[in-house]
Amino acid sequence: MGNTIEINLWKLPKPTEDKPHGYKYSLVYVIENERIIGYDNAEGQGDHRHIRELIEAYHFISLKKLAHDFFRDIERYKRGEL
């Protein structure tokens, strides 16, 4: 199985209206070229997460919590809970 985890994080020079926490980020878990889980805040979309085709708002608290939630969802997926 071709499983991939990719994490990209940028500290912005200053917070913006759509990124008040001052970070731009993208965390993705891919299996065989299909995004299974993703957390990001693409331009104009705000903080959100992807669980396969489902997209829902994500409440960003901290980088530590972001990483925790991302890896928790991967483990939940592996157990068949997502």
Domain count, the chain: 1
CB-neighbour burial class of residue 37 (10 A; exposed 0-12, middle 13-18, buried 19+): buried
Q: pLDDT tens, 7-64?
A: 999 999 999 999 999 999 999 999 999 999 999 999 888 999 999 999 999 999 999 9
pTM of the model: 0.92
User: What would the two tokens of residue 26 be?
Assistant: 């993208």
Residue span of the structural domain in which 16 resides: 3-78
Q: In what order do the strands lie in the sheet with 54-57?
A: 3-11, 23-31, 34-40, 48-51, 54-57
pLDDT at residue number 1: 56
Pick 66 or 17 by higher pLDDT.
Answer: 66
